[in-house]
Amino acid sequence: MTESLPSLEGATLSGRLFRFPEDLPDSETVLVIGFTHAARHDVAAWKAALKTKAIPYLSLPTAAQDTTPEAMQSVAQAMRNHVPADAWEEVVQIHRGGESLLRQFSWQANAFAKLLRVSHDGCVTSRHDEGPFSPEVLAAFLG
């Protein structure tokens, strides 16, 4: 059975509203998902490796419990202070759907990034959700 991405709602760091899977790019994209502040280092390692290989990705800092965009504004502002402005459209802060992701994929909100490679319609073609980044894990994920 093919897994599909649940409905997610968020906003890019530049403020553009984003809905998944409706607003996914036409090409296959890797979603790099972090649920905790502690996951930021693992998320950064994955993003750097994907960028080096020119693999399209979106970074999804995700609230583990559904909230409002307004409740996430202070975190968004802090991220804008550290993320270059030309990368703000690659970061989509998810305020609705995190609970569904955790439940659907049996994930725990921990210090590791969760990755989903998805088609433009939200079908999951591969996933990684155990342990930290490594070149070997990246190779297996990209298979």
Domain encompassing residue 82: 8-142
Per the structure, how many domains does the chain have?
Answer: 1
pLDDT at 79: 95
Asked if residue 107 belongs to a domain, the reply is yes
The CATH code of the domain that includes 53 is 3.40.30.10
Flag whether 1 is in a domain. Answer: no
Please report whether residue 138 resides in a domain.
yes
Banded model confidence at residue 26, pLDDT cuts 50, 70, 90: very high
| Pairing, β 92-96 against β 8-12 | antiparallel
Q: Is residue 108 part of a domain?
A: yes
- State the Cα–Cα distance between residues 67 and 114, nearest whole angstrom: 20
In a domain, 42, yes or no: yes
Distance from first CA to last CA of the chain, Å, rounded?
Answer: 19
Of how many residues is the chain composed? 143
**What single letter denotes the amino acid at residue 95?**
H
- Across 1-5, 23-27, 47-51, 113-117, least confident range: 1-5
Decide if pLDDT at 50 tops 90. Answer: yes
Q: Is residue 84 part of a domain?
A: yes
Token digits of residue 17: 């509203």
Per-chain mean pLDDT for the chain? 96
Evaluated on CA atoms 57, 54, 105, 33, the torsion sign reads: negative
Across the strands, what pairs with 121?
Answer: none
